Structure 1
Amino acid sequence: MFYSIMDDFASSSSARLFLATVPDAATAERIHRLADALKHAHRLNGKLIAPERLHISLFFLGDMSERFVGAANEAAMQVRTEPFEVSFDRTASFRGRPGNRPFVLIGESGLRQLESFRRMLGAALTRSGLKRVSNTNFTPHVTLLYDARSVDEHPIQPIFWTVTEFVLIRSMKGHAYHGRWPLRA
């Protein structure tokens, strides 16, 4: 179901809007504990991402605007697929800005259904008038923290969960969910 955020436009022009999937609370806590252990093992100094902010970004929509919110809602209503599992089996640092490198969970074979779902959602965004948004590259990941140091790819015990919904998140001094759509066939 979509929750209207039209009243928030005037007060949140600097807010950023994106579509994402999020782990369930128990998995988010498990990821957070793993991130804490890896932070210490790799001697990283960055602040851990809070469990309630862990997510897989699907599409960055940009600054909040009525156009993006409406198109995202329209696209979300078109998507039909059953829940699916995602699995991450490695950690690594992405390039990022110097001094601000994302340390992330990554995987390959355990993310194919997610990649397929994203293509489906991208096609729906294109039909809803957001072709520019939907033509972006995608490396599925969950950011654990940002740090000045870079860490090479490292295998981990797989972290997995079942994706049962996708969400519209407004990011501005925290994350606020402004749309939730359950996956269904």
Structure 2
Amino acid sequence: MAGSASQPYLEGFLELAREVPSPKRGGERRDHLLFFAVLLDDHSRAATLARYDWAKRIFRWRHTPRPPERFHVTLQVAFTSDEAIPERIIEAAREAASLVRFDPFPLAFDRIEVFLPSKALVLRGDGGHVALTALNRRLGHALRLRGLSPHGVSGTPHITLAYARPLTYPVEVQPMQMMVREFQLIDSLKGQGYTVLGRWKAQA
């Protein structure tokens, strides 16, 4: 009886797994990017932008920052597509997120540098790295349990500010601290912005 009851779930899991491609690792990104991230709150966005503006004045940068409402720390890329994200993929991602438990934790950022080869100008820091990595691993595991093929972001936590030519060395800035109290599921449509599809809060 237990085997027959689990059979429809297993068949659905395998069908979903066959449908899900791995996120692109290089080249031009697809139109839709479904990913989990920590969006910055109003205070953290203002603090981040202030540090960017300070460095821009000092070093006479000419590039324009990305819209502050898109400032975020990426966790997991769940799915990419040239078409609209299928609803069943979104639901699988939501189900995975609902399995993740975490306590609020702080992040701290204290330098600006450029990642190559993407030329992403980022605010970066080591504060909170262990807690963020733990959250990322739990989320990645939950996504795989739901038949998705996530691509986690490893390394030091960072916030992409703009895209620019490489810096010869990191620029130290006044530390910016923020609390991670929730994470979000986002559909990023190339050239049109973000749509938040779900939010999951830390345990009280």
Q: TM-score, normalised by structure 2?
A: 0.75
* SS of the residue 2:198 aligns to: strand
Correspondence 1:36 to 2:57: no
Q: How does 1:1-185 map to 2 (within 5 A)?
A: 14-61=31-78, 62-63=80-81, 64-97=85-118, 101-130=119-148, 132-134=149-151, 136-139=152-155, 140-172=157-189, 173-184=192-203
Report the secondary structure of 2:128's partner residue: helix
User: Taking CA–CA contacts closer than 8 Å with sequence separation of 6 or more, which of the two structures ends up with the larger relative contact order?
Assistant: 1
Q: Identify which range, 23-32 or 106-115, moves more after superposition.
A: 106-115
Whether the aligned pair in 2 keeps the contact of 1:22 and 1:54 (CA below 8 Å) is yes
Which amino acid in the other structure matches residue 66 of structure 1?
E
Cα distance change of structure 1 residues 27 and 151 upon mapping to structure 2, 3 Å threshold: farther
Aligned-residue sequence identity (percent) comes to 34
Query: How far apart, in 1, do the equivalents of 2:178 and 2:146 lie?
Result: 29
What SS does the aligned partner of 1:167 have?
strand
Q: How many residues align?
A: 168
Structure 1: tracts of 5 or more residues without a match: 1-12
Could you tell me whether the CA contact under 8 Å between 1:54 and 1:142 is conserved in 2?
yes
The one-letter code sitting in structure 1 at the alignment partner of 2:195 is A
Q: Which amino acid aligns with 1:182?
A: K
Runs ≥4 in structure 1, deviation > 4 angstroms? none
Largest Rg, 1 or 2:
2
Structure 2, unaligned stretches of length 5 or more?
A: 1-29
Q: TM-score, normalised by structure 1?
A: 0.82
Aligned equivalents of 2:87, 2:160: Cα separation in 1: 28
Conservation of the 8 A alpha-carbon contact between 2:106 and 2:179: yes
Deviations 1:76-118 (A, max 9, x none): 1000111111111221110134xxx111011224322111111
Deviates more, 1:61-70 or 1:163-172: 61-70
Structure 1 residue 121: deviation in Å? 0.9
Letter in 2 for 1:17: L
Question: Shift of the alpha carbon at 1:60?
Answer: 1.5
Tell whether the 8 Å contact from 1:42 to 1:151 is kept in structure 2 after alignment. Answer: no
Q: Which residue of 2 aligns with 1:5?
A: none
